[in-house]
């Protein structure tokens, strides 16, 4: 009788095992197709995001080329127009977009239309440049071509907003159920795990010798948990959960580590966590958390922690609501350490601000030195020359005085525009550094200023100077401006003496430098130190920073001619070369300009 009961038990046990195995087979197959579907959706989302990014990059290239075209036209620098546009880069973006959109027929057709528009866009660029070069081209034709370019911009951006972006948004909307698919897959995995555990339990009740297999499975699960903990450390995230019915919190080990605490260092609770949050974020985090609990709204916020060591850490918290098997509502959240990403983003924003400021300066200078300003000046100088050659004797003595002032003002205006163009070029020039022999540069500079040197009978002494890395024409412009400055601001009846020297051993504080290097110490290990000094009129040391500002000429406005741009150009050149410059002066004794240039790129 006992034997029959045992056989009956084994029979039902085998039936249960068979049903469980069939269920596992079914769930495994279901899981496979769900993962395949998830992979397809993920690839589609990835392609959509990549397409969006490539489109943004493409239109960024077009905007940059528009700016380049404007700069070429404004500055009349057409000689440098060859190869300046990024047509090849734009076409490479189009090729990438065609690859990404190949599986979406409507998107692919739109990309092909965009390729035609881009090709037409660069054709317009080239036609505008060609018209700019032709002296015979009428202003009306050139203006019409510019308006055609402007109208085409409207068409191009309209195509982007009304054709391309709606298609991409449609693809993304089509894949918006991706989280639901993940949720379904999780449920499948959960059910699969439950059924597997059932089989293990049934097997254990049938055969005690299967305990070794069960131990191995437990070891694998332990390894998986350790792997998850290691993944938390590497990825810089930690998770937490709270049972809204019991108000019991659970924190992962890495959650404590992110707070620089040992695991289980304090009892898991919101009150204990709020102590680590930055005081300025207390109210915001507490209010957001409370609103989320009351309304069951998912949470995604950025806030700061102050760790016990005093370190400030930026984290993103993402949380959502789930229901456990008891029907209790649970909020599960993940915090992700984004401190490094935040710092990089901040640095990028600062760099963008600097870029905007530089572009604003360029725009200002280019407007001043534009064609509309130069053309009237050329006509004024032409008429001055004709009057001086043919009708000067017919003018009264007072009229001649006025005429001389007109001529002087016109020449000063021309010098101002030349300096403005030079300053503009120092801002927008590419940093292509080569090895430069400063001795050869100074020889060319002295030859360029030979007339001024002879007129003033100046004595110029130059030490043997080192080789540096830099842009040749900018370094030459630097010394032309500095030496010209010394030749200009001389004392009456005193022969100018200019000394250019190289200090090979030093350790200086850059507190007085104009490049924002307060209290920075540099030495001959990393920098060359070159000094340009003179015995001219000098200046009060309190004005040492002002002389490098645009159009700043201190108290010498009437006695000495100049535009006030020479030293501003010097400052910009030094900044382009990652160096520093400072001025030292004594009124009626002389001035000294100290230059620090890096020894390596």
CATH of the domain at 330: 3.30.450.20
pTM here is 0.39
The residue from 399, 428, 457 where one domain ends is 428
Same domain, 404 and 485: no
Identify whether 342 is part of a domain.
no
Contacts 24+ apart (CB under 8 A), 169-173: 171/44, 171/48, 171/104, 171/107, 172/45, 172/48
Res 2: pLDDT: 44
Please indicate whether residue 369 or residue 445 has the higher confidence score (pLDDT): 445
Same domain, 556 and 573: yes
Please indicate whether residue 426 or residue 283 has the higher confidence score (pLDDT): 283
Domain count across the chain:
4
Same domain, 290 and 385: no
Same domain, 96 and 160: yes
The residue from 410, 428, 446 where one domain ends is 428
Residues 563-569 have a mean pLDDT of 75
The residue from 337, 370, 388 where one domain ends is 337
Identify whether 30 is part of a domain.
yes
Cβ neighbours of residue 110 under 8 Å, at least 6 residues apart? 101, 163, 164, 167
Res 499: pLDDT: 95
Res 346: pLDDT: 77
Same domain, 457 and 570: yes
Same domain, 571 and 531: yes
Please indicate whether residue 148 or residue 228 has the higher confidence score (pLDDT): 148
Same domain, 330 and 369: no
Same domain, 97 and 39: yes
pLDDT, the chain, mean: 76
Identify whether 193 is part of a domain.
no
Q: Say yes or no to pLDDT of 163 above 70.
A: yes
Identify whether 73 is part of a domain.
yes
From 459, 464, 445, 461, select the one nearest 502 (Cα to Cα). 464
Please indicate whether residue 233 or residue 187 has the higher confidence score (pLDDT): 187
Q: Say yes or no to pLDDT of 231 above 60.
A: no
Same domain, 423 and 433: no
Q: Say yes or no to pLDDT of 79 above 50.
A: no
Same domain, 160 and 23: yes
Identify whether 208 is part of a domain.
no
Q: What percent of the chain has pLDDT over 90?
A: 10
**H helices then E strands: how many in the chain?**
17, 14
- 175-193 pLDDT, tens digit per residue, is 556 566 666 666 666 776 7
Same domain, 474 and 563: yes
Identify whether 408 is part of a domain.
yes
Q: Say yes or no to pLDDT of 323 above 70.
A: yes
State which residues form the domain around 72. Answer: 2-179
The answer to whether the CB of 229 falls within 8 A of the CB of 254 is: yes
pLDDT band at 56 (very low <50, low <70, confident <90, very high): confident
- 17-52 pLDDT, tens digit per residue, is 677 678 777 767 776 776 766 666 666 667 777 777
CATH number assigned to the domain comprising residue 524: 3.30.565.10
């Amino acid at each position: 009788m006992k034997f029959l009961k045992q056989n009956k038990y084994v029979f039902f046990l085998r039936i249960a095992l068979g049903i469980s195995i069939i269920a596992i087979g079914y769930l495994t197959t279901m899981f496979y197709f769900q993962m395949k579907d998830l992979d397809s959706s993920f690839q589609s989302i990835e392609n959509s995001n990549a397409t969006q990014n490539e489109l943004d990059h493409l239109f960024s290239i077009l905007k940059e080329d528009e700016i380049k075209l404007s700069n070429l036209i404004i500055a009349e620098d057409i000689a440098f127009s060859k190869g300046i546009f990024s047509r090849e880069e734009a076409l490479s973006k189009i090729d990438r977009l065609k690859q990404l959109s190949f599986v979406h027929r409507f998107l692919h057709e739109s990309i092909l239309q965009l390729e035609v528009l881009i090709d037409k866009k660069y054709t317009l660029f080239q036609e505008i440049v060609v018209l700019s070069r032709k002296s015979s081209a009428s202003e009306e034709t050139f203006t019409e071509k510019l308006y055609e370019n402007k109208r085409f911009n409207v068409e191009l951006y309209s195509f982007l907003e009304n054709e391309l972006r709606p298609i991409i948004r449609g693809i993304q909307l089509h894949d918006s159920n991706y989280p639901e698919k993940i949720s379904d897959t999780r449920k499948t995995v959960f059910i699969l795990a439950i059924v597997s555990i059932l089989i293990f339990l049934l097997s254990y009740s049938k055969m005690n010798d299967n305990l070794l297999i069960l131990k191995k499975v437990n070891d694998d699960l332990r390894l998986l948990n350790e792997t998850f903990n290691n993944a938390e450390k590497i990825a810089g995230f930690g998770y937490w959960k709270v049972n809204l019915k019991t108000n019991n919190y659970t924190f992962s080990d890495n959650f404590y580590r992110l707070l620089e605490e040992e695991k289980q260092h304090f009892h898991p609770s919101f009150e204990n966590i709020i102590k680590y949050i930055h005081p300025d974020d207390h109210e915001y985090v507490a209010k957001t958390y409370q609103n989320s609990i009351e309304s069951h709204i998912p949470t995604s916020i950025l806030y700061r922690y102050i760790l016990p060591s005093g370190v400030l850490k930026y984290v993103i918290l993402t949380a959502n609501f789930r229901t456990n098997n008891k029907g209790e509502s649970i909020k599960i959240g993940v915090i992700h350490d984004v401190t490094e990403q935040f710092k990089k983003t901040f640095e990028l924003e600062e760099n963008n601000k600097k870029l905007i400021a530089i572009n604003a300066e360029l725009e200002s200078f280019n407007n001043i030195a534009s064609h509309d300003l130069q053309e009237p000046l050329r006509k004024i100088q032409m008429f001055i020359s004709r009057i001086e050659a043919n009708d000067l004797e017919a003018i009264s003595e007072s009229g001649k005085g006025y005429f001389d002032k007109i001529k002087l003002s016109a020449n000063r205006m021309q010098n101002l525009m030349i300096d403005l163009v030079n300053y503009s070029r120092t801002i927008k020039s590419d940093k292509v550094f080569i090895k430069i022999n400063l001795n050869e540069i100074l020889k060319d500079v002295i030859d360029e200023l030979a007339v001024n040197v002879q007129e003033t009978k100046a004595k110029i002494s130059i030490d043997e100077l080192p080789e540096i890395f830099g842009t040749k024409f900018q370094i030459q412009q630097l010394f032309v401006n500095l030496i010209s400055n010394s030749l200009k601001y001389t004392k009456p009846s005193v022969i100018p003496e200019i000394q250019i020297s190289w200090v090979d051993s030093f350790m200086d504080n850059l507190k007085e430098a104009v490049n924002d290097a307060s209290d920075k110490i540099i030495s001959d290990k990393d920098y060359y130190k070159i000094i340009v000094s003179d015995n001219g009129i000098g200046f009060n040391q309190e004005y040492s920073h002002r002389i490098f500002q645009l159009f700043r000429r201190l108290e010498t406005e009437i006695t000495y001619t100049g535009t006030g741009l020479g030293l501003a150009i010097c400052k910009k050149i030094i900044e382009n070369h990652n160096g520093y410059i400072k001025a030292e002066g004594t009124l009626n004794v002389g001035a000294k300009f100290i230059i620090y240039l890096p020894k390596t790129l």
